[in-house]
Chain A
Amino acid sequence: MREERSDMSEDEDGGGGVEQKERWGPSHGGGCCGSAKSRGGVWTDPPPPFSDQVLENVLENVLQFLACRRDRNAASLVCRSWYRAEAQTRGELFIGNCYAVSPRRAADRFRRVRSVVLKGKPRFADFGLVPLGWGAHFSPWASAMAAAYPWLERICLKRMSIADDDLSLLAFSFPFFKDLTLICCDGFGTPGLAVIAEKCRHLRVLDLIEASLEEEEEDEVVDWISKFPQTTTNLETLGFDCVVSTVNFEALEALVALSPALRQLRVNHHVTVDQLFRLMVRAPQLTHLGTGSFGPPAALVLQGDVMEDEADLVSAFAASKSIVSLSGFRDVASQYLPAIYPVCANLTTLNFSYTEITADELKPVIHHCHNLRKFWVLDTVRDEGLQAVAAACKDLRELRVFPLNATEDSEGFVSDVGLAAVSQGCRRLRSILYFCQQMTNKAVITMSKNCQELVVFRLCIMGRHLPDHHTKEPMDEGFGAIVMNCKKLTRLAVSGLLTDKAFGYIGKYGKLIRTLSVAFAGDSDVGLRYVLEGCPKLQKLEIRDSPFGDPALLSGIHQYYNMRFLWMNSCKLSIRGCRDVAQRLPRLVVEVIRDRPEADDETVEKLYMYRSLAGPRNDAPPFVKIL
């Protein structure tokens, strides 16, 4: 079974290289493939002589086995023959930036694609920094694929704007369509889901992760769950925990009953604990369960399995011997929480990040979870709760601690104490996201020494420019230790009071860093320069509210073709500097995004620039200026 990352994050994608399909730099490639340099257009050579044809056929058969896209990119550069063979055999098309290449061009090169992964808006769009209507429309891709890939089976979209009509087009154009995964997408609603449910007879996966469905009035909401076929389905994954409207429970129950292959089910918060019980009884084979509200029953259930009390719920969990992942618990009533004890020992993933529980409520649960690898939680569990996690979850690989009150001056519930405790107990930690209000360099340094396997380190000290809580010094040394000691680090997010020194450390030691997020940090252009000159593997750089200006921007000219994108907002850039970059790098699309119409022309509020074979896009809204 193919290893899949459900959030489409590339953080743990293993080594090397860029995921480009055409080479960018002036001096790459050699030999017969020097001309594989991006010159636009498709290979339209006359057919090769007989022996070359045989070679290509052999190659195609061999290349079938090459799955990793980076390996495929490398193979495609060997020579024209390999290029063609690889293009004919690539089954999964990964496009990290939907504007980096035109749909037409991608479809022309890769003829036999079965699976498409497409990413749209820059990540800072999640935090409201990209104005509505900016772009990343799925429509042109939907049309191109509908024409080119009748055998398409799988689509994964992240941060794209999708219309109901696009979903309709998918449903009608791809008779073998199996998997639809939408992460942080918007623009569609229940009508779109209804068409998918109704028309995609081979549907195996329908997974909506943090999608923002269009707001619909009561009478506009379509009963999409009822549209699934009334016969046995192939459904393996159904995730709709982010859907705000209620779903028809009877239809859902019937669907679950008709889906013997169902392994992953994530329901939304309208599903109460007694309803969940009924679903679990129908699907004891589940491996991943999103529990909805896990709160008190709303109405009386009249027939069939009725949950009389908590004991029934416990037995339902006891019967679900395959569960390895739990999430949901949106309105958890604490008397129901112990019901999950029977499955705790088998859990590898537990998501309590929508659950306001205290340390005392967490402890008895986490105590059983000694196989836990991934744990997401709210800071309401406090340092004490994290200490319990450190004591129990020795195999933890990923920890995310989210704030209940996501405001700058909120009371922090976790601190350096929790972080240090986790680093003591969870030595195999690979990925951490930690929101707090106070932190010390000491704790961060401790983590850098204890958790040598760290690949992702994201620390968000919520108060802007906050120094070390004890020493009042900048957080430079802490982050410096992370880049110095964690030799596998590929993703870093920094916060707190930081001077250029921190960036000096990053530039000097962060040789594997691919993604860097910076906010309210640094003193001068030197900071950004350190990073652009020191981090050869940098792919994605997102910066906000930091004092970096045109000279810093220009110092990265050598790097931008190697990167997927650079985002900078509320820094010290001017139009002149950005235009300078645009002129020097013709294959870079330089977008200046303006929030307020009255802002003057010289200042650049938001800059988003990315390499592209497609040139300036033709769907840019009025507030975007492409230089």
Chain B
Amino acid sequence: MEDVKGSDGLGDTELRLGLPGTSTATRSAKRALPEGDEESHDELRRTSAAKAQVVGWPPIRSYRKNSFPGRKVEAEAAAGLYVKVSMDGAPYLRKIDLGVYKGYKELREGLDNMFKCFSLAELSRREGGSGSEYAITYEDKDGDLMLVGDVPWEMFISSCKRLRIMKGSEARGLNSRH
């Protein structure tokens, strides 16, 4: 099966309809999947889709879904804390699940891997980011632009709405009181 997400790392960037594991319309419509393939296909589908939420599934009306405010947090936790990550100068955004990282270090490593074009090791709050090319910032619940790393990790993942990797020069102004 050629359409599996992540097998060569480029799967993530492919613009595609439907779920990872389902085929696009460009594939031959006549091909029937042999039984054996179907099983491993499912395995792959299930694991790769484990955290991805599908629109409209399970089929519950939003009216009903929104009726349990207390549960919403749990549902979100189960579903993954996906936030968009943009990088100044990059042509498209990425999306990451903050829930898979244990702390800032893992997050930086993950982002480093994803964008590969800057060295985060040099980025330090104490240095004020002055020696590095890029800074990781995030937009919080109130819509404010904050520097990543100031608050405890748990607080960060519950208030982070999106991440932005910006040029170090622009980030300098965020380094206020610490």
Tell me if B25 and A460 are in contact (CB < 8 A).
no
Tell me if B58 and A403 are in contact (CB < 8 A).
yes
Tell me if A545 and B19 are in contact (CB < 8 A).
yes
In the assembly, what is the distance between CA of A572 and CA of B16, in Å? 12
In the assembly, what is the distance between CA of A525 and CA of B24, in Å? 14
Provide the residues of chain A in CB contact with B15, threshold 8 Å: 598-599
Given the interface contacts A129-B56, A409-B78, does A602 sit within 8 Å of B22 by beta carbon? no
Tell me if A570 and B18 are in contact (CB < 8 A).
yes
In the assembly, what is the distance between CA of A463 and CA of B19, in Å? 14
In the assembly, what is the distance between CA of A525 and CA of B29, in Å? 7
Provide the residues of chain B in CB contact with A210, threshold 8 Å: 61, 63-64
B177 in the interface (beta carbon within 8 A): no
In the assembly, what is the distance between CA of A574 and CA of B107, in Å? 40
Segment 548-599 of A: residues with Cβ below 8 Å from B = 549-552, 570-574, 577, 598-599
Tell me if B78 and A525 are in contact (CB < 8 A).
no
Query: In whole Å, how far is A592's beta carbon from the nearest beta carbon of chain B?
Result: 11
Provide the residues of chain B in CB contact with A603, threshold 8 Å: 17, 24-26
In the assembly, what is the distance between CA of A463 and CA of B62, in Å? 19
A530-561 near B? 1/0 per residue, CB < 8 Å = 00000000000000110101111000000000
Choose one: A460, A572, A604, A605; the contact of B59 (CB below 8 Å).
Answer: A460
Tell me if A570 and B17 are in contact (CB < 8 A).
yes
Provide the residues of chain B in CB contact with A409, threshold 8 Å: 50-51, 78-79
Given the interface contacts A407-B78, A572-B27, does A128 sit within 8 Å of B42 by beta carbon? no
In the assembly, what is the distance between CA of A462 and CA of B46, in Å? 12
Choose one: B46, B65, B79; the contact of A464 (CB below 8 Å).
Answer: B46
Tell me if B60 and A129 are in contact (CB < 8 A).
no
Q: Which of B5-13, B68-76, B117-125, B135-143 lies at the interface with chain A? A: B68-76
Tell me if B58 and A126 are in contact (CB < 8 A).
no
A425-440 near B? 1/0 per residue, CB < 8 Å = 0000000000100000
Choose one: B46, B50, B79; the contact of A465 (CB below 8 Å).
Answer: B46
Provide the residues of chain A in CB contact with B67, threshold 8 Å: 330, 354
Tell me if B60 and A402 are in contact (CB < 8 A).
yes
B91-134 near A? 1/0 per residue, CB < 8 Å = 00000000000000000000000000000000000000000000
Provide the residues of chain A in CB contact with B33, threshold 8 Å: 523-524, 547
Best-buried of B17, B33, B46, B63 by chain A (most CB within 10 Å) = B17
> Per DSSP, are chain B's interface residues mostly helix, strand or loop, or mixed?
loop
Q: What residue in chain B is nearest A474 (Cβ atoms)?
A: B38
Given the interface contacts A128-B56, A464-B46, does A570 sit within 8 Å of B22 by beta carbon? yes
A: interface residue count bin: 35 or more
Provide the residues of chain A in CB contact with B65, threshold 8 Å: 406
A497 in the interface (beta carbon within 8 A): yes
B159 in the interface (beta carbon within 8 A): no
In the assembly, what is the distance between CA of A524 and CA of B42, in Å? 15
Given the interface contacts A128-B55, A523-B32, A549-B30, does A403 sit within 8 Å of B71 by beta carbon? no
A526 in the interface (beta carbon within 8 A): yes
Tell me if A464 and B63 are in contact (CB < 8 A).
no
Query: In whole Å, how far is B1's beta carbon from the nearest beta carbon of chain A?
Result: 12
B45 in the interface (beta carbon within 8 A): yes
B178 in the interface (beta carbon within 8 A): no
Provide the residues of chain A in CB contact with B60, threshold 8 Å: 127, 402-403, 406, 435
In the assembly, what is the distance between CA of A551 and CA of B43, in Å? 28
In the assembly, what is the distance between CA of A394 and CA of B49, in Å? 41
A335-359 near B? 1/0 per residue, CB < 8 Å = 0000000000000000001101000
In the assembly, what is the distance between CA of A519 and CA of B57, in Å? 9
Provide the residues of chain A in CB contact with B74, threshold 8 Å: 405
Tell me if B25 and A572 are in contact (CB < 8 A).
yes
Choose one: B35, B42, B55, B68; the contact of A356 (CB below 8 Å).
Answer: B68
A408 in the interface (beta carbon within 8 A): yes
B54 in the interface (beta carbon within 8 A): yes
In the assembly, what is the distance between CA of A356 and CA of B74, in Å? 15
B53 in the interface (beta carbon within 8 A): yes
Tell me if A549 and B29 are in contact (CB < 8 A).
yes
In the assembly, what is the distance between CA of A552 and CA of B68, in Å? 40
In the assembly, what is the distance between CA of A435 and CA of B19, in Å? 21
Query: In whole Å, how far is B39's beta carbon from the nearest beta carbon of chain A?
Result: 9
Tell me if B49 and A464 are in contact (CB < 8 A).
yes
Tell me if A124 and B63 are in contact (CB < 8 A).
no
Provide the residues of chain B in CB contact with A356, threshold 8 Å: 68
In the assembly, what is the distance between CA of A520 and CA of B59, in Å? 12
Tell me if B71 and A408 are in contact (CB < 8 A).
no
Tell me if A407 and B53 are in contact (CB < 8 A).
yes
A212 in the interface (beta carbon within 8 A): yes
In the assembly, what is the distance between CA of A435 and CA of B64, in Å? 14
In the assembly, what is the distance between CA of A134 and CA of B79, in Å? 28
Q: What residue in chain B is nearest A128 (Cβ atoms)?
A: B56
Q: What residue in chain A is nearest B41 (Cβ atoms)?
A: A465
Provide the residues of chain B in CB contact with A520, threshold 8 Å: 57
Q: What residue in chain A is nearest B32 (Cβ atoms)?
A: A524
Segment 210-229 of A: residues with Cβ below 8 Å from B = 210, 212
Choose one: A184, A500, A544; the contact of B61 (CB below 8 Å).
Answer: A184
Given the interface contacts A128-B55, A523-B32, does A405 sit within 8 Å of B23 by beta carbon? no
Provide the residues of chain A in CB contact with B46, threshold 8 Å: 463-465
Tell me if A545 and B22 are in contact (CB < 8 A).
yes
Tell me if B75 and A402 are in contact (CB < 8 A).
no
In the assembly, what is the distance between CA of A487 and CA of B32, in Å? 31
Provide the residues of chain A in CB contact with B23, threshold 8 Å: 547, 572
In the assembly, what is the distance between CA of A602 and CA of B29, in Å? 13
In the assembly, what is the distance between CA of A212 and CA of B62, in Å? 9
Choose one: A464, A524, A552; the contact of B31 (CB below 8 Å).
Answer: A524
A97 in the interface (beta carbon within 8 A): no
Tell me if B45 and A465 are in contact (CB < 8 A).
yes
In the assembly, what is the distance between CA of A598 and CA of B67, in Å? 34
Tell me if B45 and A127 are in contact (CB < 8 A).
no
Given the interface contacts A524-B32, A605-B17, does A406 sit within 8 Å of B45 by beta carbon? no
In the assembly, what is the distance between CA of A407 and CA of B117, in Å? 36
Best-buried of B49, B50, B56, B59 by chain A (most CB within 10 Å) = B59
Chain B interface (Cβ < 8 Å from any Cβ of A): 15, 17-19, 22-27, 29-33, 35, 38, 42, 45-46, 49-51, 53-65, 67-68, 71, 74-75, 78-79
8 A-B pairs in the complex with CB atoms less than 8 angstroms apart: A127-B57, A210-B64, A407-B79, A408-B53, A409-B78, A547-B23, A599-B17, A604-B25
Question: Which 3 A-B pairs have CB atoms at the shortest separation, nearest pair first?
Answer: A549-B29, A127-B56, A570-B18
Taking A128-B62, A465-B45, A571-B25 as given, write out 17 further A-B residue pairs in contact, using a Cβ cutoff of 8 Å, ordered by the A residue number: A126-B62, A127-B56, A127-B57, A210-B63, A212-B62, A354-B68, A406-B60, A407-B58, A408-B53, A410-B78, A464-B19, A499-B38, A519-B57, A544-B56, A547-B33, A572-B24, A602-B25
